């Protein structure tokens, strides 16, 4: 497997490695979005609406991706996003992501629905740790999770606010996929088609969402629900409840899932420490505005009062550069690093970060920006947004899966 990881030169290559290794149902759970997947496609396409206009004759010999992110040094302007159920793809994937993040010097966000516990991550992958808490109907359980993160010395709490209910992920329905797994003739054949994955799960047992043990019973079938954890979300969570979280959590509070300027302005006035512009990777509301397109309005809403990060569709180092040039302080990496972790564990997670770091540094040098603070708006030029956007967004999901962005790059060398 090591040589296969070394032969991956892009995030698209790691995605393909994961696709070949995993049963279709498991891969589609990670790869897919809601309904027609237009928001999923739009997140990536939004980056294509901008071209880079590089400065020349700039000394970039000492270029560095190092920066300050949310009050602490970071190896690059990024953090690992919360990605739930990673262990179903590769046992120990959560730890692999956390260790790779620590090695790169960036923050790792543990999902409430991770297959590794809050305490285990803190013990085995020390670094900058953030904990993402879904808002749950069981409020006692919700506060217990937050208290566990506080006791484990997590630096920040991330509250996800964009899913009062789970999204309608039709790939999961068609694959008879649910968590916990419900075995049907269709998915049994699917699982058997990947014997190495299946044998490990049979011999060692299916992972569980460690932080949600005891929350509630599982669903009875895959087609009755849009998301198994989604049954537990609290649709009544509102501004007053978020204010209570702000009052009770003593450290940095990050709110994830914002796409409107008026909401961003109100969050800034409330005293949150950062906002993540996000549509949950296109997994919730299909037709939602792509995150990069929502970024300018959110920035205008906060008016410089707090840092704004963005996620969704980041697959290249140049995407990170474009997000920063548009005003974000950093990005969250979701599928980009998850593909590496579920494809090859520690080696895959590290390879994903190495690829993105290399590409970002190369982009900075080619653009005449020796520091991330010099990735400014004057480097960007808009493309024609209409023809390419409408043609791509109108394509069916199967056609969009072979995005023109998925091409190979030269081997990783010092640029």
CA-nearest of 11, 168, 30, 173 to 88 is 30
Residue 131: beta bridge partners? 110, 157
Catalytic pick from 3, 51, 176, 280? 280
| Residues whose CB is less than 8 angstroms from the CB of residue 380 and which lie 6 or more positions away in sequence, other chains included | 50, 51, 52, 53, 322, 325, 326
CA-nearest of 23, 192, 158 to 84 is 158
335-366 and 317-325 helices cross at what angle (nearest 10)?
Answer: 70
- Distance in angstroms (rounded) separating the CA atoms of residues 262 and 243: 17
- Distance in angstroms (rounded) separating the CA atoms of residues 165 and 255: 17
| Residues whose CB is less than 8 angstroms from the CB of residue 42 and which lie 6 or more positions away in sequence, other chains included | 282, 289, 290, 293, 313, 393
Decide: helix, strand or coil at residue 324.
helix
H helices of 228-316, where? Answer: 239-248, 261-270, 291-302
The verdict on whether 280 is a catalytic residue reads yes
N-term to C-term CA, the chain = 27
Torsion of CA 230, 161, 147, 269, to 10 degrees: -170
Q: E strands of 76-147, at which residues?
A: 78-80, 107-111, 129-134
Which residues are the active-site residues?
280
């Amino acid at each position: 497997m090591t040589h296969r990881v070394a032969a991956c030169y892009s995030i698209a290559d790691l995605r393909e490695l994961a696709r070949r290794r995993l049963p279709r149902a498991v891969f589609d759970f990670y790869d897919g979005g809601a309904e027609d997947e237009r928001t999923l496609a739009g997140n990536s396409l939004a980056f294509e609406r901008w071209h880079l206009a590089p400065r020349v004759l700039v000394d970039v010999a000492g270029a560095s991706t190092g920066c300050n992110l949310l009050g602490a040094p970071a190896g690059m302007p990024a953090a690992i996003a919360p990605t739930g159920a990673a262990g179903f793809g590769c046992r120990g994937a959560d730890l692999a992501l956390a260790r790779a993040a620590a090695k790169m010097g960036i923050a790792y966000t543990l999902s409430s629905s991770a297959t590794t516990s809050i305490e285990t991550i803190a013990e085995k992958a020390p670094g900058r740790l953030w904990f993402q808490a879904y808002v749950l109907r069981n409020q006692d359980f919700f506060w217990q999770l937050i208290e566990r993160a506080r006791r484990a010395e997590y630096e920040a709490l991330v509250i996800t606010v964009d899913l009062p209910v789970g999204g309608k992920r039709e790939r999961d329905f068609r694959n008879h996929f649910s968590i916990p797994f419900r075995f049907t003739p269709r998915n049994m054949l699917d699982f058997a088609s990947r014997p190495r994955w299946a044998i490990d799960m049979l011999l060692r047992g299916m992972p569980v969402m460690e932080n949600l043990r005891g929350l509630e019973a599982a669903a009875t079938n895959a087609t009755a629900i849009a998301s198994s954890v989604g049954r537990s979300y609290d649709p009544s969570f509102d501004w007053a409840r978020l204010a209570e979280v702000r009052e009770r959590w003593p450290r940095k509070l990050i709110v994830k899932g914002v796409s409107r300027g008026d909401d961003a302005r109100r969050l800034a006035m409330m005293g949150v420490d950062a906002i993540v512009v996000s549509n949950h990777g296109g997994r919730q509301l299909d037709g939602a505005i792509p995150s990069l397109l929502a970024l300018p309005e959110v920035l205008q809403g906060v008016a410089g009062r707090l840092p704004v990060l963005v996620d969704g569709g980041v697959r290249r180092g140049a995407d990170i550069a474009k997000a920063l040039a548009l005003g974000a302080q950093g990005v969250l990496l979701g599928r980009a690093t998850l593909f590496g972790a579920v494809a090859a564990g520690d080696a895959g997670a590290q390879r994903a970060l190495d690829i993105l770091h290399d590409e970002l540094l190369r982009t900075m040098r080619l653009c005449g920006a020796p520091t991330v603070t010099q990735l400014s708006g004057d480097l960007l030029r808009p493309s024609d947004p209409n023809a390419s956007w409408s043609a791509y967004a109108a394509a069916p999901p199967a056609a969009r899966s072979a995005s023109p962005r998925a091409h190979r790059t030269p081997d990783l060398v010092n640029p």
